Structure 1
Amino acid sequence: MKRQVTIIFFTIILSIIAGYALSFNTFSNEHKAKSDEKNDGDVVQLTFWRNYGNPTENKAYEELVSDFEAAHPNIVINMKSIQYDDYEVRLRTELAAGTPPDIMSIDSPNAAIYANTGALLSLDQYMKKEGNIDDFPDATLKGLSFQGEIFLALVVESSIALFYNKHLFKEAGIPFPSEDPTEPMTWDEVREIAKKINNPDKGVIGIDSAQGFGVGEAPAYFKIPILWQFGASILSPDGTTASGYLDSKEAIEALQFYQDLYHKDKVAAVELPLDPFESGELAMTVLGSWTLAQLETNYPDFKLGEDFGVAPLPKGKDQVVPNGGWALGISSKSKYPDEAWEFIKYITSYEGMKKYVKITGDIPARYSVARDLPELNEYPKNIFVQQSQTYSKNRPVTPAYPVVSEVIKTLFEEVGIGGKDVEVSAKEAVEKINKALKEIQ
């Protein structure tokens, strides 16, 4: 725990700078030749770091950078794409060394970490003057802000929904759920369906409600909404404590429901076979909007409408889905903040965002782009779009977020895998988060 809090303040980074120094010399510079050609003093060179995405994401950024440079011949964007697993450490290394990129891609729940340390330039005035912020949902902007100021600009949003196997539903005589984004099933209804379909003798599992037990940010992204749906929060509104929130009556109810799926109802499995949903061994699962393209590419014989369907994310007391994604920020040390903003403004503009979404198939952050692309107003993508615009919530905005994320992961592992008393686990989780908040303060 202490180590994670220390990471927030980058002090640990100083000890590994030397270890990574050599690797930075090997970075590929995608625009090096072009930069060498444009070497006069009137040309502004901007470094742009982003995590290396899937092929369509990479293609989208390459085309947008090319378009921007064509329209701004006095600006060169030196884009470096870094593997996801290495990205955060390498970025923080450069920040600690005082040599950060001008423009950087940051996962939106980490906005407060970088803003709190002074690593990010506030985009508040830029966004409010030229960013057309009325075109973004309030929940999206809130997730990009810290202490009342906007620090990041988002290109695409994210959302999750319930995917279900149509063949297993038919065999059990269960009607398909509504496709209307405003009419989700309740978690109690989903649990009863899972009980009817679950069949250990045939190797059929009822549900995977929150992406099993993985690593990284996925556990927090998929599991925090369960707490929200039951009316719970992680932190107080001012972000100073988890006491009375993560251990509230509502949080305990949510954790108990989650635990019961595994240990009482036995309709969820701690260990899942390979590709259980696609192989017909898993009746229901919660997946992200990006999964549609992945299924179409990797499992062409497993077809939407024939083999599986998509329904709104189930609700508890409230209908809530998570939002957030990789957003763009400017280093507070950049010598060219105005030029950096010009680039971000283009990427996140109506035209830039529309082009990005057409290439990637992702969910746009702007209302206007979603409205003007027909496929986003049709099933099943309309589910993700309407959820993100109407029912989404951002993960806690706090400099202690890495600790919060890890604690949530551990909490759900303890109650889901280990069957630990939910009140005891919640109390321990609160103590860990409060300790991190206190150390940061």
Structure 2
Amino acid sequence: MRRLFVLLVLLIGIFLSATTIEVLWMGWPQDQVMQLVKAFKDENPTIEVDIQLVPFGQLFQTLEVRLAAGDGTPDVYIVDGPNTASYAARGYLLALDDYFTDEEMDDWFSSSIEEGSYNGKFYSVPYGTSSAGIFYNKAIFKEYGIPFPPERIDERLTWDEVVEIAKALTKDTNNDGITDIWGLVIEQIDRPYLIFPIVQSLGAQVLSSDGFVSQGYINSKEFIEGTTFYWKLFNEWKISPQGVSDSAIAREYFGTGKAAMMLGNEWNIRRMSQYPSVEFGLTPFPYFEGGAIVTPTGSWHVGINSKTKKLDEALKFTKFITGKEAVITWHLLNGIAPARYDVYEALPEVFENPMWQTFLYEMEHTAVARPVTPGYSQYELMLREAFNSIHYGADPKKTLDDAAIRIDRELKRYK
């Protein structure tokens, strides 16, 4: 009885001495996220975690309001990688160079470290990364007698070859004047993430090196040539459907046989399981003949509020959630590409899959991070508006000329 009493006193003491940290997180499925929170609490019984899951559509606005309040909360928060510079420039992120050793930093892809840094300092810890390629529906290719696209890195298609395949597989199957099968659907139809590699393959620089000027970059000859190609997909060749602005809908087009190919992210290896009847392959991200091979990268990071009053606890949570074991668990739960080399080594049964090997090669050799600018959120928003207009038929040059004026007006505020 006495031993039970002592144990009870100890447990009460632990509870009363616990420190609660506030974590603002992406709105992933709660059952997945809470597995990681529970694992952290099992290792750190004196730290309570108040984790708030915010849907993607509300996340950035919520962060802006909360961080601007300046009260030190949330202590830890999810950071979209390219927004690192914006939060760092405004003093919202704690510089982490003194808290991570060189050995720890070597665990992550160099492109992930680049995305988490600003002005030579390390501000946000990589939580995941990404890549993209073209998934293709094998049944549709077989039905129409089109050879499967090459899956080898050294045989990647040019964009002109992709267009010819897509033309051959865009079908009005019942002759009613409505396209029933599209040659190519784009998973993130208006996002710079997937469009930048197209213009970069032609030699375009998407922003000035100091991150403050878009004039002469997003409306350069090369950028306009790339976006004119993008315009033709929807308006001249009509091999890609307009208005598919939701990734889940693009995935549905591909998974239900309404699209022969899909330009999309690595997470589709896992997420296409919701369409068990579709047999698909992967061909590497295309390039323009004679141009550079460029693939997109970057994903979620984790940051610590520069004004947190609970630094030790915030660091423990950040190191745990971005550590090897937690990232292994998160990949198995959610399917997002790990940013850590050691996770790929730890799960050979997953990553020896040829599709994952393609993505791993791209992340190590061809990946180019999105530009570093403290005004990235405004830059991206205005470019999304421009790309969306272009895909609906707006003139690329005029649209980008107008966008450059608006973007530079916003970027000047950060100088």
Smaller-chain TM-score range? Answer: 0.7 to 0.9
User: For residue 40 of structure 1, what is the aligned residue in structure 2?
Assistant: 16
**Segment of structure 1 superposing worse, 135-144 or 200-209:** 200-209
CA distance in 2, matches of 1:101, 1:406: 25
Summarize deviations over 1:198-231 as a string: whole Å, max 9, x none: 2235522221245435xxxxx2322222222222
Contact 2:15 2:46 in 1 (8 A): no
Q: 1:300 aligns to what?
A: 276
CA RMSD of aligned residues (A): 2.3
* Distance in 1 of aligned mates of 2:308 and 2:189: 41
Match of 1:269 in 2: 241
Contact 1:277-1:285 within 8 A present in 2 as well: yes
Q: 1:36 to 1:329 in 2, by over 3 A?
A: farther
- In the alignment, the residues of structure 2 paired with residue 143 and residue 417 of structure 1 have an alpha-carbon distance, to the nearest angstrom, of 31
CA distance in 2, matches of 1:285, 1:64: 32
Q: Which residue of 2 aligns with 1:53?
A: 28
How big is the shift at 1:315? 1.8
State the one-letter code of the partner of 1:70.
D
Structure 2 residue 392 is the aligned partner of structure 1 residue 417? yes
Mapping of 1:21-420 within 5 angstroms? 38-41=14-17, 43-54=18-29, 58-99=30-71, 100-127=73-100, 129=101, 132-200=104-172, 202=174, 203-209=180-186, 211-213=188-190, 219-271=191-243, 275-296=252-273, 298-302=274-278, 307-316=279-288, 317-374=291-348, 375-420=350-395
- Equivalent residue letter for 1:433: I
Unaligned runs of 5+ in 2: 1-10, 175-179
Q: What is the CA-CA distance between 1:37 and the residue it aligns to?
A: 7.7
Distance 1:339 1:131 in 2: 22
Q: Are residue 438 (structure 1) and residue 412 (structure 2) matched?
A: yes
TM-score for both structures, normalised by structure 2? 0.87
Deviates more, 1:74-83 or 1:117-126: 74-83
| Cα deviations by residue, 1:295-329 (Å, 9 ceiling, x for unpaired) | 21x22222xxxx32222111222222222222111
For 2:386 and 2:59, the matched residues in 1 are separated by: 26
Contact 1:211/1:285 (<8 A) preserved: no
1:77 counterpart SS class:
strand
Q: Tell me: CA distance 1:162–1:37, structure 2 relative to 1, closer, same or farther (3 Å).
A: farther
Report the Cα distance in structure 1 between the residues aligned to 2:339 and 2:31, rounded to whole angstroms: 19
Secondary structure in 2 matching 1:206? strand
Residue 366 of structure 1 and its aligned partner are, at CA, apart by 0.9
SS in 1 for 2:306: coil
1:251-284 deviations in Å (ceiling 9; x for gaps): 1210111112222222222146983222322111
TM-score (norm 1): 0.82
Match of 2:20, SS state, is strand
Does the residue aligned with 1:276 lie in a helix, a strand or coil? helix
Q: Which shows bigger deviation, 145-154 or 344-353?
A: 344-353
Tell me if structure 2 keeps the 8 A contact 1:131–1:349. Answer: no
Q: Distance in 2 between matches of 1:59 and 1:396?
A: 34
In structure 2, give the amino acid aligned to 1:278. G
| Closer, same or farther: CA 64–182 of 1 in aligned 2, 3 Å | farther
Length, aligned pairs only: 391
Contact 1:239 1:398 in 2 (8 A): yes
Match of 1:427 among 356, 381, 401: 401
User: How many percent identity over aligned positions?
Assistant: 32
Structure 1 CA distance for aligned equivalents of residues 298 and 379 of structure 2: 16
Q: Structure 1 residues 72 and 278, CA, compared in 2 at 3 Å: closer, same or farther? A: closer
Partners of 2:410 and 2:103 in 1: how far apart?
Answer: 34
Q: Give yes or no for contact 1:371–1:377 (8 Å, CA) kept in 2.
A: no
**Structure 2 CA distance for partners of 1:39 and 1:168, relative to 1, 3 Å:** closer
Query: Secondary structure in 1 aligned to 2:381?
Result: helix
